[in-house]
Every structure is written in structure tokens, then in C-alpha cells.
Amino acid sequence: MAGHVLLIEDEPNIIEAIRFILSRAGWRVDTHSNGVDAAEVVRARNPDILILDVMLPGRSGYDILRDLREAPETKALPVLMLTARGQSKDREMAERAGASRFMTKPFSNAEVLDAVRALAPS
């Protein structure tokens, strides 16, 4: 087993694509699609890696990530941020919030898998 990934994303086609790619590579994938309680879900499920969309219903991925970085138990959690907007200001906001990596949509299957493998705790 490669590890446990939590995907917080609200677009069903992206959820299915990422779940398929990672499951096929041996990862256990949990999903959640609401920004309001996302930080609590991360703490409850305790994933090895978090894939977090920027634009979520109820709360932005940046706000969720800032909360996670302030909590001792999730401070070092590897986080891959996903966004439909790939401008440099979006990348800077993700870095300031504490993202480990940043990926713009659309992305290739190989890009997602490479990013998750690179973030995997050894």
C-alpha cells in the first residue's frame, strides 16, 4: 500500500479521475467536497497527503490550509493545492498559506501521480 490520500475537491469528474489514478497506483483515497468542515475532516482522517482544491463551497482552500498549518498535528502535512487559475499571484497565495506543491487544472494523470509520490513521506 502506497499510503493514504485525502482529496478535498467539489468537481465530481476531477474526484473520479484522481481517485482512479491514485487507487490504481496503490493509494487509499478518501474524498470530501465541502470547505466548511474540511479542516475537521483532515484531522479526523489523518491522511499521509492532502490534495486540496482552492475553490470549494463554503470556504477557500487557502483558508483551510492556513488553519491546518496553525495546528500542531497538521503543521507538517504535505499538501498539494489544485486550482483552475494558474497565475503567479495564485501560486504565491498558495505558498504563503503553506502549500507543499501547486498544480493547475487541467493536469495530466502523470503529473498528479508524480506530485503525490514526491510528497509521500519516506
The pLDDT confidence band at residue 14, using thresholds 50, 70 and 90, is very high
Residues 64-108 have pLDDT tens digits of: 999 999 999 999 999 999 998 878 898 899 999 999 999 999 999
Q: Tell me the whole-structure pTM to 2 decimals.
A: 0.96
Reported in sequence order, the residue ranges of 34-104 that DSSP labels E, i.e. its strands, are: 49-53, 79-83, 101-104
Under 8 Å between Cβ of 82 and 106: no
Instruction: Please report the domains of the chain, with CATH numbers, ordered by start residue.
Output: 3-119 (3.40.50.2300)
Q: Give the tens place of pLDDT for each residue, 39-66.
A: 999 999 999 999 999 999 999 999 999 9
Find where cell 465541502 sits.
Answer: 34
For 8, the enclosing helix (H) or strand (E) is: strand 3-8
Name residue 30's amino acid.
D
Place of cell 493509494: 27
- Burial of 52 from C-beta contacts in 10 A (0-12 / 13-18 / 19+): buried
